[in-house]
Amino acid sequence: IDTAVDGLSKIKLTSPTKLPNATGFLWNRAMVMQVNCRGYVNSQFMQPEPAKYSYAPNMEAKSFIQPEHSYFSHHPGRFFYLKDEDSGEIISLPYEPMRVQLDKFSFELGNSDITWSIEHRGLKITIKVNLTEDDLVECWFFSVTNLTDTVKNISLYPYFSIGYMSWMNQSACYNEALNAIVADSVTPYQKVADYFTNKQLKDKTFFLSDTPPTAWHANQKDFEGEGGLHQPSALQAELLENVEARYETPVAVMQFQQSLMPSEQKNYQFLFGPAKDELEIAEIKEKYLGHQQRNKAEQSYRDYIAQGKACLTINSGNVSFDDFFNHWLPRQMFYHGDVNRLSTDPQTRNYIQDNMGMAFINPERTRQAYILAVSQQTINGAMPEGVLLHAQAELKYINQVPHADHGVWLPICLSVYLNETADVSLLSEMIAFADSAQKQSFTRHIELALDYLINATDHRGLSFIEQGDWCDPMNMVGYKGKGVSTWLSLATAYALTTWCDIYEEYDIGINRQKYDEYRFAAKAINNAVNEYLWHGQWFARGITDDGRVFGTDKESEGKIFINPQSWAMLSGAANDHQKIEMITAITKQLITPQGVMMLAPSYTSMVEDIGRITQKHPGVSENGSVYNHAAIFYIFALYQAGQNNLAFELLSKMLPSLENAEVTGQLPIYVPNYYRGAYHQFPKKAGRSSHLFNTGTTSWLYRCLVEELCGLKGCARGLHVAPKMPATLPYLSGQRLFRGAMVNFDIEQTSDITVMEVLLDKQVIAGNVLTDLKTGQHYQLQVRVPMTSEDNVK
Ligand code: CEZ
């Protein structure tokens, strides 16, 4: 970690082979690119549905970004072949496809750019990419410096994959007026109606250069020839042969012959992206090509990413811990909140939780998102599968499968918005429904969602699961209409309780009858779960359509699931004795060096009354990985149960770091959606990162940091102070931005007190709520807390 640059941290990887799958990612509201240290790139843009402009060499099925994405030699990438014209040596940068060992290599992940710094045989090379604030273009900068005292003659050949665009029509050629290689295609279709929709599509890919090339090549197969990408035949000749692609796979290659005097530096700028027509390409060229344009674009993209600054900075004394929480986690949380994982129909649960994180960055956006979500609720109270973000968006893929949990998230996540803002006016906003113009208050919308959940229960009072709950692929427990979910029952109880707590905390005109009804319903659910689903030491996961209780010690696989245990702690279903039993069982069966597994043992074959989850590879995703979203629920629950040591231990395990990079295979710039589990079944692969930066974990992880570890949580009266320090962390300081006030805090554990002491600007505070904080003011907060004992389980 290098913190020297602009006070912002950079993560550097100094070998292309040590973590070959390491990546960084850049995004804006219209596109995202995941950049691998060896030069491979996954990218997509929105038009408005996700689309490609740099494809694999085969027809790609459209799907979400896959976990543990595999790279192969023809995988799309942005490479630079470099020929030493004097010696004839050819290398490729940053590393692929030739894989020549370089004298110096460094892959550097910054906040708003990704850079490689390379040295080889007397040449110093910098390659840098950034995006723009809202255009569809990758901005590349390439600079080469002659470090020797003799003249060097080189040829530089940027090689940008365009790939297999279409079986109907694809071609590519150099366009002199634009000084670009432009590839053209027709998105394949068969229905006449699609012709008219597809007319709007950006079916071209351009590669623009600021320098006129000596020669060019646009035909992938011909460029590669018999030499293959490792030794492309086209590079043997002195000059590329200006070859176009005519119904052949396009590629963008340009050759720049250049001689470099001693110490001379030469810079190149390249722009790469999708476009509808030449006019659009010309506009992009005008806007971004040139020194000044580049600086302006870099600055505005930096400003865009900087909008992701969140409400807390900490100093724990552990550099990587602090760097992750101060910098990378807010960045990832902002990505989720601002662009909704670049989906036009985010799953409702994802949308609501991702926007919970936005409450720590820009609560106004959370407010708008929550209003939009309830405006798509039907008047019977059901929340939609996904939230449609624009008029043409449709519910697709997983959103066509009925999941039963969408109503629980809003009451649960709303509390963070209220804690941050105390904006109770949201609750009286009048909002219509998807199927009715009748307007009801936000409060009423939530009550309708809760009533709907209460009614979607069986004769025992347990919640029907339909074809899934939080767990998407648990699709066959209840597809016949009878199966029930422990987790959803508990989540319903927790949603009811949270809503009642909000009623109590914020002065929103309590409807006493509803309040009593909800408290009663939550208790009834907790009782039912205890009656039917407590099995020995922990709660089972559910009851199938045919009445089989699963997730118990009776089975050989899928004996124990984490979610029911965590949520039983949250909902109040578990008493103190049960909590200890559960924590003991979890510690024995689910804990790994990377955190807590979602279930164990992982399923090794299909279980037809559970579903698709059992078909996933053991230890992968929901089938018993350390699925961080589920792990953070457990950590959050442990904090509620006062298990500060264990919560912190697991929270620390979840964080990617340079120390665990050799196990996880990723750099510490995002929390992945999972680390491989099946720790006892496949120990060799356990701990590997999914390399997937889309995850519901971010907002909960940040919530745990702010509200639990630092214990600086908003409430109706002000800022509630109740740090939950582990024994291993004696001291923590930082800055908390709260409702416009800046609170500089110091938290210290000390053995000479038994009751917490709170001082604000050196004045002793009675109680632990800071009530009169004023917007724009700075405060000094000193908190002394009694030492946390070292026992994990009390
Ligand atoms: O997606 C997530 C969902 O986006 O899986 C979570 C769920 O709560 C999130 O809403 C747990 O199931 O379809 C599947 O099998 C996969 O489970 C994906 O949907 C999954 C992947 O992690 C994608 O990021």
Residue 64's pLDDT band, with cuts at 50, 70 and 90, is: confident
Ligand 1 midpoint to CA 472 (Å): 6
The rounded distance, in Å, linking the Cα atoms of 583 and 565 is 8
Residue 494 has which token pair? Answer: 């927790």
pLDDT tens profile 721-779: 999 999 999 999 999 999 999 999 999 999 999 999 999 999 999 999 999 999 999 99
Ligand 1 midpoint to CA 398 (Å): 9
Residue 8's pLDDT band, with cuts at 50, 70 and 90, is: confident
pLDDT at site 63: 72
Q: Which ligand 1 atom is at minimum distance from the Cα of 613? A: 15
Tokens 């491989």, located at residue: 676
Q: Which ligand 1 atom is at minimum distance from the Cα of 470? A: 8
Residue 3 reports pLDDT greater than 60? no
The rounded distance, in Å, linking the Cα atoms of 408 and 591 is 28
Residue 6's pLDDT band, with cuts at 50, 70 and 90, is: low
pLDDT tens profile 74-116: 999 999 999 999 999 999 999 999 999 999 999 999 999 999 9
Q: Which ligand 1 atom is at minimum distance from the Cα of 472? A: 12
Residue 7's pLDDT band, with cuts at 50, 70 and 90, is: low
pLDDT at site 2: 67
Q: Which residues lie across from 12 on neighbouring strands? A: 108
Q: How far is CA 714 from the centre of its chain?
A: 25
Tokens 């940068």, located at residue: 93
The residue whose CB lies within 8 Å of the most ligand 1 atoms, and thus the one to mutate among 351, 397, 472, is 472
The rounded distance, in Å, linking the Cα atoms of 132 and 112 is 10
DSSP 32-62: EEEEETTSBEEEEEESSSEE-SS--SSPPPP
Contact between 26 and 129 (Cβ < 8 Å): yes
Mean pLDDT for the stretch of residues 501-507: 91
Average pLDDT value over all residues in the chain: 96
pLDDT tens profile 238-296: 999 999 999 999 999 999 999 999 999 999 999 999 999 999 999 999 999 999 999 99
- For ligand 1, atom 17: residue with the closest CA: 472
Q: Which ligand 1 atom is at minimum distance from the Cα of 349? A: 10
Nearest to 672 by CA among 296, 437, 187, 332: 332
Write down how long the chain is.
794
Ligand 1-lining residues (CB < 6 angstroms): 64, 347, 349-350, 398, 470-473, 621-622, 673, 692, 694
State the amino acid at position 258 in one-letter form. Q
Ligand 1 midpoint to CA 782 (Å): 42
Ligand 1 midpoint to CA 311 (Å): 28
Residue 507's pLDDT band, with cuts at 50, 70 and 90, is: confident
pLDDT at site 794: 41
pLDDT tens profile 299-351: 999 999 999 999 999 999 999 999 999 999 999 999 999 999 999 999 999 99
Residue 328 has which token pair? Answer: 């990378």
State the amino acid at position 287 in one-letter form. K
pLDDT at site 1: 67
Q: 676: alpha, beta or left, given left = phi > 0 and alpha = psi -120 to 50?
A: beta
The rounded distance, in Å, linking the Cα atoms of 650 and 633 is 11
pLDDT tens profile 179-197: 999 999 999 999 999 999 9
The rounded distance, in Å, linking the Cα atoms of 759 and 747 is 11
Tokens 């470090």, located at residue: 147
pLDDT at site 793: 46
Nearest to 342 by CA among 109, 728, 26: 26
Contacts of 38 (CB under 8 A, 6+ apart): 16, 20, 71, 77, 94, 95, 96
Nearest to 544 by CA among 610, 495, 499: 610
Ligand 1 midpoint to CA 507 (Å): 37
Cα separation of the two ends of the chain: 38
The rounded distance, in Å, linking the Cα atoms of 115 and 121 is 20
Ligand 1 midpoint to CA 599 (Å): 15
Residue 786 reports pLDDT greater than 90? yes
Ligand 1 midpoint to CA 352 (Å): 15
Ligand 1 midpoint to CA 645 (Å): 29
pLDDT tens profile 192-217: 999 999 999 999 999 999 999 999 99
- 322 tagged catalytic: no
pTM: 0.95
Q: Which residue of the set 222, 469, 472, 609 is catalytic?
A: 472
Contact between 151 and 86 (Cβ < 8 Å): no
Question: How many alpha carbons lie under 13 Å from residue 768 in its C-beta half-sphere?
Answer: 15
pLDDT tens profile 338-397: 999 999 999 999 999 999 999 999 999 999 999 999 999 999 999 999 999 999 999 999
Contact between 775 and 740 (Cβ < 8 Å): yes
Q: Which ligand 1 atom is at minimum distance from the Cα of 695? A: 24
pLDDT at site 667: 97
Nearest to 718 by CA among 763, 777, 774: 774
pLDDT at site 57: 80
- For ligand 1, atom 15: residue with the closest CA: 473
- For ligand 1, atom 8: residue with the closest CA: 470
pLDDT at site 46: 94
- For ligand 1, atom 20: residue with the closest CA: 472
Residue 792 reports pLDDT greater than 60? no
Ligand 1 midpoint to CA 673 (Å): 9
Query: H helices of 506-620, where?
Result: 512-533, 562-571, 576-589
Nearest to 708 by CA among 791, 777, 788: 788
DSSP 117-185: EEEETTEEEEEEEE--SSSS-EEEEEEEEE-SSS-EEEEEEEEEE-----SS-EEEEEETTTTEEEEEE
Q: Which ligand 1 atom is at minimum distance from the Cα of 694? A: 24
